[in-house]
Amino acid sequence: MINHINNKHFIEGVSLEDISQAHPTPFYVYSQSKITSTYESLKNTLDTEIFYAIKANSNQAIIKLMASLGAGADVVSVGELERAITAGVSSKKIIFEGIGKTKNDIAYAIEKNIRLINVESIDELERINKVALHQNTKVDIGIRLNPNIDGKTIDKITTGKKTDKFGIDTDQLEEMFQILKDLQNVNLISISCHVGSQIFSINVFTKIFQKMKNNAQIFTDKGYSIKHVDLGGGLGVKYQENKDALNLQLLKEELNKCFDDTPYKLSFEPGRYLVANAGILITSVITTKNNGGINFLVTDAGMHSLIRPALYQAHHEIEAVNKDSNEFINYTIAGPICESSDIFAKNIGLPKQKVGNLLVIKDTGAYGKVMASNYNSRGLPLEILVNNEDFVVIHQPLNVKEFIALDQIPEWFN
């Protein structure tokens, strides 16, 4: 995504050096053209409905861009639902997921007249019916199934195995059908599943497709008119240059093979896939040091800015913007947070760096800023969107004084 022209680093038509002169690091930069091309490629290849999983990057500008491209929204909280509506997503293109919906959450979703609420437990099914009854209405629902499929990904991002907390175990379907037939305020029109993130195996997707087709038939045989089958997200994103990308054409072939004669609409709910490679995090070197023979570059970004490496041991390629030395040194890139886990990368070769130099942490458009925090009472990074030769700040975070002012000191201390 970064272009190198005359020893400068460009994202679309804007140099990172120009952005860094206008705004203090650390900051996220997103490419509008990259998001657009990724969405259009996915949409044109799969030819299904696309519901953008807002949890990946919930900035209003990103959601609005997705909506302008034709995407719906997949939300997992009332906050995300409000973000989608505020950004202009049609309520009938919003799906409400999540295993922890309260009565108030459900009531709000019903009031907003969204496409449907995906049910993740029998308990929740009954709760939705009660809320709809109280509002004297009937609400469209989907059933999120737990298909007991191993997504062949890391444990912290798997969601479709029998022991995971998500969805309704298919072994509980008969019990669910018995309860469902007595519920008069819900209208079952959809089934869905999501087995995890970072799935590259076409065989895993084939298993998902076949199981969902079989389950759709089970629901049909029970007398339910299934109009939508949501196949989840999890489309693998390439974070390393030497890794293969997900083969969308093979995925499309398997999709067509399985669902060539089915009466319902198909959809996917990608998040990471649409935005991860479209974002970078720019950070400055604030200290260089050597401890125990290890060369450290300490940056102003840390696990408070991007927690994925500390939380998941996630890999992100790092590139030096300043390459004013022919000497290469193996560095460990560390953040300023008082945690030993605040490390972005270990033992990576970069041109010799000095304080004030800029580093690019790549592929941070998903699960970056949305997972950032004020840990150690540090500020959040701002966010910038680039469109051709223009760039604009799309999120200006509170400064330290502003977020401290949100605290309330009890009167009895005075």
Q: Which sequence positions are flagged as catalytic?
A: 338
353 three-class SS: coil
CA distance 119 to 121: 6
Q: Where are the alpha helices (DSSP H) in 181-313?
A: 202-221, 248-258, 272-275, 308-312
**Tokens linked to 145:** 């199934």
Per-residue DSSP letters for 84-107? HHHTT--GGGEEE--S---HHHHH
Residue found by looking up tokens 């004297």 in the block? 136
The Cα-based distances of 193 to 42, 71, 98 in angstroms read 19, 19, 12
Q: Kindly report the CA angle at 64 between 59 and 67, in degrees rounded to 5?
A: 130
The Cα-based distances of 167 to 8, 162, 232, 307 in angstroms read 48, 9, 12, 26
Smallest CA-to-CA distance from 85 within 51, 105, 93 is with 93
CA distance 283 to 303: 12
CA distance 305 to 28: 9
Residues 160, 146 contacting (CB under 8 angstroms): yes
Distance of CA 204 to the CA centre of its chain: 20
CA distance 265 to 227: 6
C-alpha torsion angle, residues 39, 277, 390, 42 (rounded to 10)? -10
**Helix, strand, coil percentages, rounded to 5, for the chain:** 35, 25, 40
The Cα-based distances of 245 to 18, 26, 68, 235, 249 in angstroms read 31, 29, 26, 10, 11
